[in-house]
């Protein structure tokens, strides 16, 4: 039976279990393997904020969703085809995300009385036997027992044996989708091989046992084949958003001829940027784990004053702490890259869940008139291109710049046709040089209204800068009313002028004009794209424009908005971009908001567009 493989275009698998079950590892291993088979893919890790929530409870469920296929993939999938659950809580939490007649692969050991009760099932309730799963294709296996049996001969303790049960499931799913085990075996070898050979052997044995179980047991009749996607020819790698961000910063520094200083403080979901950067000291990257968020940004400002590229990253509440220093950076007119990996708010909010509710904070959230350019990435790999561009603007326009990512992009992964170093545009810092017989004026500007960057250590460029209002040109402290008006206007004009140095807004998908324009920004890209492409295929006159530049906007944006009867703005917030668009362009843009800590599905967007279409 296992020889007949049914060919499918794309599949969504949701792995779920207790947060100690190794679900994230299972999911990322499966992703890496799928990527190497040439599938397009998108992933969505979803885990609790607590390191270890009570075992077996719904609060402690960790999930990893992957959508992979032989066609283009833009989202991790609205609903899953296959739900793999290690315990009752994982089923309870995720059954509503399984397609009708989808498959449930279930570890029966996780459905004993205790697990059922911890998951919140009533005394006599058991989803395996009470009909809950009748309409699904149910595969039961005692993963715990099978894993223990497989490791009977080893000297490992029970706890250690049980720890490898995720490998059994992974092996089984590899069998289902006709994948080789090489990638994961290599991974296990490099992770444990030297340090703990016995653990490595155990994990590999269990992985193989899971595969063999698929082959020999007749519990599951279907085996699937997902062919490689018809992606653009080229060389690809897998990349996660935070990783792409860190690589982008290093690449931008290189192409600008600047060393990088990263000052930051650990915070979910931004920390991986610090982790990634700290591995690359040999690229001239200095990382500084500061005592707090404020020291993180202030140290980056100090580094920029010294002629390095100052970078800081955080998430919403940490960005709030950095706000005063952002105002200083605006006054100093030094390059500074500020990365906000947004998460659910306000306050500590939902640290591990995604949201895009810091747009107002980025665009307006400072005291005084303090304009800062804002850019947002749309997919995990796009974090690279967007942070690169954000850095270019910071350096070439002598300003702090916000780069917005979010939890969904940060931890999500996708294949990336990475560029070569030569493909990347050069970045040109404007360092000041002393001119014989001419006094250096720190706030003298060029045609872009940009001042020169004079760094300590160069004779005859000695100067003082600070947070007090500057006199035009000299930079001396000035309380003159007209000067303050002039400097306020100039700082705004400098940021507005950046619009002359960025591309015009393009229509990313669908029709160039028509009835509805879906205008998005950030990580809603995949869901909007999927929805719009499907709508267009169904005959709707719909277009999709996705903003990378949120301040200033591309120069042609008003014209783009005018080409459609309606503008719909879906956002994972309570309506932030929509307010700015209405304010700047006086158009009756419609808001579509979702603040649930989870991304939009393509279906939600489709329905909303269809609703507006007929209005």
Partner 1 sequence: MTTEKNPTPLTAKDLKTDQDVRWCPGCGDYSILKQVQSVMPDIGVEREDMVFISGIGCSSRFPYYMNTYGMHSIHGRATAVASGLKATRPELSVWIITGDGDSLSIGGNHLIHLLRRNFDVNILMFNNQIYGLTKGQYSPTSELGKRTKSTPLGSVDHPFNPLSLTMGADATFVARSLDRDPIHLREILKKANEHKGASMIEIYQNCNVFNDGAFELFSDKRTKLENTIMLEEGQPLIYGEQRDKGIVLDGYKPKMVSLDEVSADDLWIHDSSDRIKADMLVRFFDDPNIEGNFPRPFGIFYQEDRFTYDDALNEQLEAHIEESGSGDLDALLRGNNTWVID
Chain positions 193 to 252 lying near partner 1, rule: CB under 8 A, are: 228-229, 231-239, 247, 250-251
Contact 257, 41 (CB under 8 A): no
Query: Under the criterion CB under 8 A, does residue 461 sit at the interface with partner 1?
Result: yes
Query: Under the criterion CB under 8 A, does residue 468 sit at the interface with partner 1?
Result: yes
Write down the least CB distance from residue 465 to partner 1, Å. 6
Contact 312, 338 (CB under 8 A): yes
Give the x/- contact pattern for partner 1 in 398-437, rule: CB under 8 A: --------------------xxxx----------------
- Of the candidates 31, 59, 30, the one whose C-alpha atom is nearest the C-alpha of residue 46 is 59
User: Residue 339 and residue 336: Cα distance in Å, rounded?
Assistant: 10
Write down the least CB distance from residue 434 to partner 1, Å. 9
Out of 281, 428, 513, 596, name the contact with partner 1 by CB under 8 A. 281
Give the x/- contact pattern for partner 1 in 163-192, rule: CB under 8 A: --------------------x---------
* Ranges within 131-160 binding partner 1 (CB under 8 A): none
Write down the least CB distance from residue 464 to partner 1, Å. 4
Give the containing element (helix H, strand E) for 285. Answer: strand 285-289
Contact 302, 310 (CB under 8 A): yes
Residue for token digits 């999927």? 530
**Identity of the residue, 437 or 457, whose beta carbon is nearer to partner 1 in the bound complex:** 457
Query: Under the criterion CB under 8 A, does residue 320 sit at the interface with partner 1?
Result: no
* Ranges within 471-530 binding partner 1 (CB under 8 A): 476-477
Out of 11, 300, 374, 560, name the contact with partner 1 by CB under 8 A. 300
Residue 85, classed as helix, strand or coil, is strand
Write down the least CB distance from residue 381 to partner 1, Å. 11
Q: Across 108-221, where does the E strand assignment appear?
A: 137-141
User: Residue 263 and residue 277: Cα distance in Å, rounded?
Assistant: 11
Q: How many CB atoms lie within 10 A of CB 281?
A: 10
Structure tokens at 398: 């002598």
Binding window for partner 1 (CB under 8 A); candidates: 144-152, 295-303, 402-410, 601-609: 295-303
Strand partners, 549: 375
**Identity of the residue, 3 or 420, whose beta carbon is nearer to partner 1 in the bound complex:** 420
Ramachandran angles phi, psi of 304, nearest 5°: -65, -40
SS (H, E, C) 249-268: HHHHHHHHCCCEEEEECCCC
Parallel, antiparallel or unpaired: strands 260-264 and 223-225: unpaired
Write down the least CB distance from residue 330 to partner 1, Å. 12
Out of 307, 400, 570, 599, name the contact with partner 1 by CB under 8 A. 307
Write down the least CB distance from residue 470 to partner 1, Å. 11
Query: Under the criterion CB under 8 A, does residue 263 sit at the interface with partner 1?
Result: yes
The contacts of residue 559 (CB under 8 Å, 6+ apart) are: none
Cis (ω within 30 of 0) for the bond into 2? no
**Identity of the residue, 349 or 467, whose beta carbon is nearer to partner 1 in the bound complex:** 467
Out of 266, 284, 317, 473, name the contact with partner 1 by CB under 8 A. 284
Number of chain residues interacting with partner 1 (CB under 8 A): 72
Contact 26, 166 (CB under 8 A): yes
* Ranges within 322-381 binding partner 1 (CB under 8 A): 324-325, 327-328, 332
| 124 exposure class (CB count in 10 Å sphere: 0-12, 13-18, 19+) | exposed
Structure tokens at 337: 């890259």
**Identity of the residue, 285 or 612, whose beta carbon is nearer to partner 1 in the bound complex:** 285
Out of 84, 169, 295, 605, name the contact with partner 1 by CB under 8 A. 295
Contact 333, 277 (CB under 8 A): no
Binding window for partner 1 (CB under 8 A); candidates: 28-36, 506-514, 553-561, 590-598: 28-36
Write down the least CB distance from residue 398 to partner 1, Å. 15
């Amino acid at each position: 039976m296992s020889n007949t493989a049914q060919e499918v275009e794309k599949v969504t698998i949701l792995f779920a279990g207790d947060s100690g079950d190794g679900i994230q590892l299972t999911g990322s291993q499966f992703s890496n393997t799928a990527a190497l088979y040439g599938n397009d893919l998108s992933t969505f890790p979803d885990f609790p904020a607590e390191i270890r929530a009570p075992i077996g409870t719904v609060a402690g469920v960790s999930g990893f969703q992957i959508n992979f296929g032989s066609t283009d993939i833009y989202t991790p999938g609205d609903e899953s085809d296959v739900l793999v659950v290690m315990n009752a809580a994982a089923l309870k939490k995720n059954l509503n995300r399984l397609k009708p007649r989808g498959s449930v692969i279930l570890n029966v050991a996780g459905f004993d009385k205790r697990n059922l009760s911890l998951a919140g099932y009533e005394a006599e309730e058991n989803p395996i036997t009470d009909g809950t799963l009748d309409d699904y294709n149910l595969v039961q296996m005692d993963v715990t027992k099978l894993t223990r049996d497989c490791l009977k001969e080893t000297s490992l303790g029970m706890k250690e044996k049980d720890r490898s049960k995720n490998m059994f499931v992974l092996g089984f799913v590899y069998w289902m989708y006709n994948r080789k085990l090489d990638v994961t075996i290599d991974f296990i070898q490099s992770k444990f091989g030297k340090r703990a050979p016995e653990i490595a052997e155990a994990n590999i044995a269990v992985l193989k046992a899971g595969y063999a179980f698929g082959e020999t047991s007749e519990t599951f009749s279907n085996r699937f084949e997902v062919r490689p996607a018809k992606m653009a020819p080229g060389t690809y790698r897998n990349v996660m958003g935070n990783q792409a961000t860190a690589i982008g910063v290093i690449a931008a520094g290189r192409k600008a001829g600047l060393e990088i200083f990263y000052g930051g403080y650990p915070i979910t979901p931004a920390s991986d940027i610090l982790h990634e950067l700290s591995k690359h000291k040999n690229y001239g990257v200095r990382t500084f784990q500061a005592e707090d968020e404020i020291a993180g940004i202030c140290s980056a400002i100090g580094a920029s004053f010294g002629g390095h590229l100052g970078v800081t990253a955080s998430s919403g509440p940490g960005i709030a702490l950095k706000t005063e220093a952002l105002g200083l950076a605006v006054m100093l007119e030094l390059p500074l890259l500020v990365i906000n990996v947004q998460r659910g708010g306000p306050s500590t909010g939902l640290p591990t869940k995604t949201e895009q509710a810091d747009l107002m904070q980025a665009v307006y959230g400072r005291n005084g008139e303090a304009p800062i350019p804002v850019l947002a990435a749309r997919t995990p790999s796009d974090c690279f291109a967007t942070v690169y561009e954000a850095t270019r603007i910071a350096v070439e326009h002598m300003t702090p710049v916000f780069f917005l990512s979010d939890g969904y992009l940060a931890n999500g992964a996708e294949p990336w046709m990475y560029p070569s170093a030569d493909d990347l545009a050069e970045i040109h810092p404007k360092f000041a040089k002393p001119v014989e017989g001419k006094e250096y004026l720190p706030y003298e500007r060029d045609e872009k209204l940009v001042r020169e960057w004079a760094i300590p250590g160069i004779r005859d460029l000695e100067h003082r800068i600070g947070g007090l209002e500057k006199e035009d040109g000299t930079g001396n402290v000035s309380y003159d009313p007209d000067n303050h008006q002039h400097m306020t206007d100039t700082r705004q004009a400098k940021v507005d002028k950046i619009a002359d140095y960025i591309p015009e807004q393009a229509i990313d998908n669908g029709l160039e004009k028509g009835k509805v324009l879906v205008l998005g920004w950030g990580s809603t890209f995949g869901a909007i794209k999927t929805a719009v492409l499907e709508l267009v295929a169904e005959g709707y006159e719909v277009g999709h424009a996705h903003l990378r530049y949120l301040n200033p906007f591309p120069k042609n944006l008003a014209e783009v908005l005018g080409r459609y009867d309606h503008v719909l703005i879906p956002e994972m917030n309570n309506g932030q971009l929509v307010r700015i668009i209405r304010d700047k362009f006086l158009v009756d843009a419609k808001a579509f908001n979702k603040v649930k800590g989870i991304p939009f599905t393509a279906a939600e967007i489709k329905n909303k567009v269809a609703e507006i279409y007929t209005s």
